[in-house]
Structure 1
Amino acid sequence: MAVITFLGAGSVVFTRELLADILSFPELREVTLHLHDIDPERLATAEAIARRTAAQLGADPRIKTSLDRRTALAGADYVINSIQVGMYAATVTDFEIPAKYGLRQTIGDTIGVGGIFRALRTFPVLQGIADDMREICPDAWLLNYTNPMAMNIGYLAAVAPDLKAVGLCHSVYWTVRGLCEVIGEPFDGVSYRAAGLNHQAWLLHWRKNGEDLYPRLRQAVATDPELRRRVRVDMFRSLGYYPTETSEHSSEYVPWYLHHDEEVARLRIPVGDYVRISRENVEEYERVRDELAAGHDLEIERDATEYAPQVIHSIETGTMRRIHANVRNTGLITNLPRDYAVEVPCVVDEQGVRPEFVGDLPLQCAAVNQNFASVGELTVRAAVTGDPRLVRLAAQVDPNAAASLRVDAIWALCDELTAAHGDLLAPALRTPTTR
């Protein structure tokens, strides 16, 4: 029976959802679960969640826990990565320091200065995970949920191209579900295909019973003024293809919105929203921990939308599925950078996750993606070469930062974030630098 290792198992709400989906499959009810976290209290809570979930579902997994990552990786067939290096305190830093300079962010975990420094905190740990997996479980699948997704998969492609690493994100799925609701069309039976970068892929194909559903969306947008007060809808009206991440997220990936007060108001952009979300996640963790300690049952909702359980089930049983996943660009999208991470349709079965060829994206979509990819490529190169100037250049070419701040302010901001994050960054990147 499969061995599934959870790295960052202390992300308890996320762990609970994945476990519920995994253990609901009859073929996976007796898997071995290895739970790992560096925080003893969170690891104990994750174990309690796993045992309570199994009991409530009538499943019989073998559950082990370890504070040592190498121990947790022993025998793994699948490694689910959901770590957050620096936790809530680092997230607050990523918002408070840029805000001092007048830089607005909404989520700050994908590109922008928040995404850059989240990546730089994560890369050293990813390097350790890759090294350990190569030695301990070289044939295991690394199923990554940790953001910034594209930068993390791009980094793994650079430092561990032999690792079977796949980035999983449900933004494409939920985008299509949401659009079906907008036009009043049931989701069942809809066919769709998206491609691009994670959090900025494009819905290229959206049909039902042979009907292209895009004209119905255009009609809905034309007749609903409130619908036009969404960043994604605004981008769709210009670019002709719908982006696959939420409006608040999408606003910080482009230079068009966040530095204009009028646009922030018109499009109802929640500046700084991720600090609130992160605080609520901490509160949710504490609530679940306390309820488990009091002997209460968990609220288990299985909606089978998360990809990791589907991937594991497909590989173990040969059940074929199609998903959208993040992989190394080996020529899959021909007008985006080769070897960086792209999000493309994939077939999953007993042979594993097999990405499908896309070819050229529409030129305007590729142009917007290229700005996004340039930030990630420079960030990855900074980490691989140990060049701190490339960190500043990544921030300098970031669309939102470039539209909002002078160059000297961007470099000063990076110096201050570098000092604030300290030893969470690789030693070579901790050195202040000048232009």
Structure 2
Amino acid sequence: MTTSTAPAVTFVGAGSVVFTQGLLSDLFAFPELRHARIALHDIDPERLATAEAAARQIAAAHGATPHITAHTDRRAALTGADFVINSVQVGMGEATRTDFEVPARFGVRQTIGDTLGIGGIFRGLRTFPLLRSLGADIAEICPDAWLLNYTNPMAMNVQYLAQATGLTRVVGLCHSVHWTMHGLAELVGVPYEDVTYRAAGVNHQAWVLEFRHGGTDLYPRLDALIERDPQLRRRTRVDMYRRLGYYPTETSEHSAEYVPWYLHHDSEIARLRLPIGAYLDIVAENVAEYESTRDALAAGRALEAEGTMEYAPQIIHSIVTGTPRTVYGNVPNRGLIGNLPSEGVVEVPCLVDGSGVRPTRNGPLPAQLAALNRTYLSTTDLVVRAALEDAPVRVRQAAMTDPATAAALPPERIWELCDAMVEAHGDRLQPGLRKPLGS
């Protein structure tokens, strides 16, 4: 879809101001995108005004002359959009605290709580109503737009979008593969630009299948480093790598939540230095960063917004200009990874150019990796089914299949926990899922 006209990019959830700043810095770093039409949408007027002021300052710093508008009306923001970037967090920090505090009363430990686990399940359930209405608006107002989703839980959200809205131009984006490979390259002492790699799996639980410098496999060098350094062996993802044979593409804090082996054991929490409730600190830091940005803009001070080379700006640039790139995207499987469920959402390399985003076929994963990914996708599928079927029992079944929740609680307590979460989240859930079922 190469075009000489300025692309129209709509930010849904633009009030995630710090993240929006990074994306805009990335966009305006491309000369071809400096005249883009930028529509910012958020339901919080103060955050929206802050995002707009930040966007104008970032544009000026890059010598860009975009057309920037701000909208509390989402449909107005979507009018004419070629690309829609979604970064909404339904319920914000209050809902996130609920996701941690209620399970903690039941003895369930979480570190991040945004992908799987009881926190991920209810984060998905409270996001689905927004995704359904957003999808309907896109289908009506800008049906040819690409929806680039950053909102977690990624696999649940993309599967729900595919099955509930019928949209086909949907890609879920996450920086975990990119930054994992940066970290590994630094660890083995090879410049990132000189490393070649291939990863595949599911979001936050994909696997580095190839890791090379020229024709040399870098895994033996990594093995030698781990053998010499006992502190490296105190990382969850390193522990998983040593036992499974392939390095996971998400941080130790995330990775510990998707398996039953770590968070239920005090000794493993101590050995691997797992920070229980870590995401609550991140929430507080995000609020502080937002307030600092807001106050700096009000005082007329310059922002220090740096580009992050996120995938969304790269995708937009490639589609607009025809420049070929490879990014990692989350898309419905449909045979891309042969030994994972077809309807599940997988994270694979995607080719991008003027024709759009094209996922690549990766063949089967090693059996041990596919076994873990299938469990992950089974829980995800039940959460999506709960919403599509309006079936509260599916929520409980999803929690029963979740590895970390099942390791911590017997079935009766899992159902009681789900009832407590339903009560705590109240009207954030679709009406049919608000019914308590008892134990």
The alignment's TM-score, normalised by the length of structure 2, stands at: 0.98
Contact 1:54 1:60 in 2 (8 A): yes
Matched with 2:31 is: 26
Contact 1:228 1:234 in 2 (8 A): yes
Contact 1:130 1:163 in 2 (8 A): no
SS at match of 2:199: strand
2:157 equivalent to 1:165: no
2:126 equivalent to 1:121: yes
Matched with 1:362 is: 366
Cα shift readout 1:115-173 (whole Å, capped 9, x = no counterpart): 00000000000000100000000000000000000100111121133331000001001
2:298 equivalent to 1:293: yes
Question: 1:309 is matched with which residue: 305, 313, 333?
Answer: 313
Question: 1:51 is matched with which residue: 52, 56, 71?
Answer: 56
Question: 1:203 is matched with which residue: 195, 198, 208?
Answer: 208
Matched with 2:72 is: 67
2:391 equivalent to 1:387: yes
Cα shift readout 1:85-106 (whole Å, capped 9, x = no counterpart): 0000000000000000100000
Cα shift readout 1:37-56 (whole Å, capped 9, x = no counterpart): 00011000010011111111
2:341 equivalent to 1:337: yes
Matched with 2:414 is: 410
Return the offset for 1:62: 0.1
Return the offset for 1:364: 0.2
Q: Distance in 1 between matches of 2:305 and 2:295?
A: 16
Cα shift readout 1:375-434 (whole Å, capped 9, x = no counterpart): 100000000000000001101110001011111111111101101111110000000114
SS at match of 2:415: helix
Return the offset for 1:301: 1.6
Contact 2:419 2:438 in 1 (8 A): no
2:88 equivalent to 1:83: yes
Q: Which moved more, 1:155-164 or 1:166-175?
A: 155-164
In angstroms, what is the RMSD of aligned CA positions? Answer: 0.8
Gaps of 5+ in 1: none
Matched with 1:424 is: 428
Q: Distance in 1 between matches of 2:136 and 2:402?
A: 30
Matched with 1:225 is: 230
SS at match of 2:273: coil
Q: Which moved more, 1:185-194 or 1:228-237?
A: 185-194
Contact 2:27 2:33 in 1 (8 A): yes
Matched with 2:328 is: 324
2:155 equivalent to 1:150: yes
Return the offset for 1:114: 0.2
Q: Distance in 2 between matches of 1:417 and 1:133?
A: 31
Gaps of 5+ in 2: 1-5
In the alignment, residue 291 of structure 2 is paired with which amino acid?
Answer: E
Q: Distance in 2 between matches of 1:119 and 1:43?
A: 24
1:175-254 equivalence runs, <5 A: 175-254=180-259
SS at match of 2:39: strand
- Identity of matched residues, %: 62
Q: Distance in 1 between matches of 2:26 and 2:235?
A: 32
Q: Distance in 1 between matches of 2:88 and 2:317?
A: 23
Matched with 2:15 is: 10
SS at match of 1:324: strand
Contact 2:135 2:167 in 1 (8 A): no
2:283 equivalent to 1:278: yes
Q: Distance in 2 between matches of 1:311 and 1:180?
A: 24
Contact 1:138 1:163 in 2 (8 A): no
SS at match of 1:154: helix
Contact 2:13 2:42 in 1 (8 A): yes
Q: Distance in 2 between matches of 1:411 and 1:182?
A: 44
The alignment's TM-score, normalised by the length of structure 1, stands at: 0.99
SS at match of 1:161: coil
SS at match of 1:108: coil
Greater than 2 Å deviation, 4+ residue runs: 160-163
SS at match of 1:64: strand
Return the offset for 1:330: 1.3
